[in-house]
């Protein structure tokens, strides 16, 4: 585990040979690299929507001290939140300001950025920067902690990641890099950066899955670097409203159009009672998910909704496993009422066909939902008692008026 591995570097009995340290670096790299989510959520590095925002974040907040090195230093020095603030103020924000000051070098900004990277790569405890006392203090303060790390892992992580950032920026011109650093509202971004670091410090203390915490917190922070109209351009309102309606109406359990068709064809004396019972159970896990996500971040919402969709596609551990299973049993009972006059062979064939259709629909929902930018998820979950009642009335009556009233809940 990451925490145990970090703590092991403090053990004086460990072999500090270069071979042993090399092995530990390999272990650390494996642990801190992207870990696959059960739900195959895209990582900021590979998600096309987040490549540019991710570059902005790294360029402005990680060039003088990258996140992984910072977390390593936090762990081995057992830092408090108060001390984190000092490093953030005297190191991170100073480095960020130096990047922003490059705007005055419009014609040769890229060359000046490379020079600044070279300065950031100075690991001396005494740096000759008489004309820039703030940067001198920032680098010497950072280097003090690099020196305290006898394993040199913090420094190695910094060198590797700065090299990777430089490689990623090679293809950009000075004008394009200038656009990358044209970012506004730093008060909010600075606050959220501090909030992210403190949240990750808590993950270290509480021995949580740090790799997953890093992904979650960093994705959330990177959202700050997306243009305000990004959710509209990357996933238009019509598509967003469509999948919002499908999901909130229990589409991951029973595709709404198919459910309406089946309810329309039901010929039962107790039709309304059957529909009320079935829909109440089918929508129960969606209602519970909405309640669970109310105070989550958009990043956490996306992660949890994808997990939920995968739990509907196949049996896997889930907070909502019992409710999902009850919902699918209610679906089966409703289908049983619909097919009860069919021959046994016909029932088997139609059940297989409907199940396959539902499976394909869930997979399609997963694909479409994965494309939604997290910034667009603030009002994604809208299910409430009024929507449940209107859906039941529409399925029972087929009324155009009820349908229009229901659809209004999913329009922005």
Give the confidence band of 23 by pLDDT, cuts at 50, 70, 90.
Answer: very low
User: Tokens 């490549």 sit at which residue?
Assistant: 51
Whether 158 shows a pLDDT value over 90: the answer reads yes
Q: Extract long-range pairs of 6-13: CB within 8 Å, 24+ residues apart.
A: 6/72, 6/75, 6/76, 6/204, 7/75, 9/76, 9/149, 9/150, 9/151, 9/153, 10/76
Find the angle CA(249)-CA(267)-CA(383) to the nearest 5 degrees.
Answer: 10
Whether 175 shows a pLDDT value over 70: the answer reads yes
Are 210 and 71 within 8 A, CB to CB? yes
Whether 295 shows a pLDDT value over 80: the answer reads yes
Among 397, 410, 405, 383, smallest CA distance to 280 is for: 383
Q: How far apart are CA 147 and CA 271, in angstroms?
A: 75
Q: Count other Cβ atoms within 10 Å, centred on residue 166.
A: 13
Give the model's pLDDT for residue 244: 92
Are 9 and 183 within 8 A, CB to CB? no
Give the model's pLDDT for residue 187: 85
Give the confidence band of 92 by pLDDT, cuts at 50, 70, 90.
Answer: very high
Q: How far apart are CA 135 and CA 255, in angstroms?
A: 59
Q: How far apart are CA 271 and CA 155, in angstroms?
A: 69
For 61, the token pair is: 């907040």
Are 107 and 174 within 8 A, CB to CB? yes
Whether 141 shows a pLDDT value over 60: the answer reads yes
Give the confidence band of 100 by pLDDT, cuts at 50, 70, 90.
Answer: very high
SS3 assignment for 264-277: HHCCCCCHHHHHHH
The tens digit of pLDDT for each residue in 201-260 reads 888 877 656 666 777 777 777 777 765 444 334 456 778 889 999 999 999 999 999 999
Give the model's pLDDT for residue 47: 52
Percent of the chain predicted with pLDDT > 70 = 83
Give the confidence band of 48 by pLDDT, cuts at 50, 70, 90.
Answer: low
Give the model's pLDDT for residue 229: 40
Give the model's pLDDT for residue 250: 96
What pTM, to 2 d.p., does this model score?
0.52
């Amino acid at each position: 585990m990451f925490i145990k591995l970090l703590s092991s570097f403090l053990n004086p009995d460990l072999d500090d040979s270069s071979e042993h340290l090399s092995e530990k670096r390999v272990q650390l790299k494996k642990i801190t690299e992207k870990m696959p989510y059960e739900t195959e959520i895209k990582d900021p590095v590979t998600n096309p929507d987040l490549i540019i925002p991710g570059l902005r974040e790294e360029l402005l907040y990680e060039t003088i001290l990258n996140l992984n090195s910072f977390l390593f230093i936090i762990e081995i020095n057992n830092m408090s939140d108060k001390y984190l603030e000092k490093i953030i103020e005297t190191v991170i924000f100073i480095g960020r300001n130096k990047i922003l000051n490059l705007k005055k070098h419009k014609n040769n900004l890229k060359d000046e950025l490379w020079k600044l990277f070279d300065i950031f790569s100075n690991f001396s405890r005494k740096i000759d920067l008489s004309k820039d006392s703030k940067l001198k203090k920032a680098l010497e303060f950072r280097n003090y902690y690099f020196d305290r790390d006898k394993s040199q892992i913090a420094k190695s992580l910094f060198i590797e990641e700065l090299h990777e950032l430089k490689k990623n920026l090679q293809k950009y011109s000075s004008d394009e890099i200038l656009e990358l650093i044209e970012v506004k509202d730093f008060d909010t971004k600075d606050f959220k950066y501090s909030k992210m670091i403190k949240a990750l410090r808590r993950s270290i203390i509480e021995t949580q899955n740090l790799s997953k915490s890093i992904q979650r917190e960093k994705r959330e922070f990177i959202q700050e670097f997306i243009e305000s109209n990004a959710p509209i351009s990357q996933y238009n309102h019509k598509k967003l409203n469509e999948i919002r309606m499908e999901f909130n109406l229990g589409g991951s359990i029973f595709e709404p159009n198919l459910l309406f068709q089946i309810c329309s064809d039901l010929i039962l004396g107790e039709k309304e009672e059957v529909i009320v019972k079935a829909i109440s159970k089918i929508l129960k896990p969606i209602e519970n998910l909405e309640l669970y996500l109310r105070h989550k971040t958009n990043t956490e919402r996306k992660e949890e909704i994808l997990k939920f969709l995968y739990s509907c596609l196949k049996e896997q551990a889930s907070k909502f496993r019992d409710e999902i299973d009850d919902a699918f049993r209610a679906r089966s009972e409703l289908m049983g009422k619909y097919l009860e006059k069919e021959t046994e062979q016909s029932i088997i064939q139609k059940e297989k066909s409907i199940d396959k259709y539902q499976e394909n629909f869930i997979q399609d929902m997963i694909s479409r939902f994965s494309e939604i930018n997290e910034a667009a998820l603030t009002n994604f979950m809208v299910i409430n008692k009024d929507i449940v009642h209107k859906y039941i009335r529409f399925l029972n009556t087929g009324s155009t008026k009820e349908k229009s009233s229901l659809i209004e809940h999913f329009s922005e």
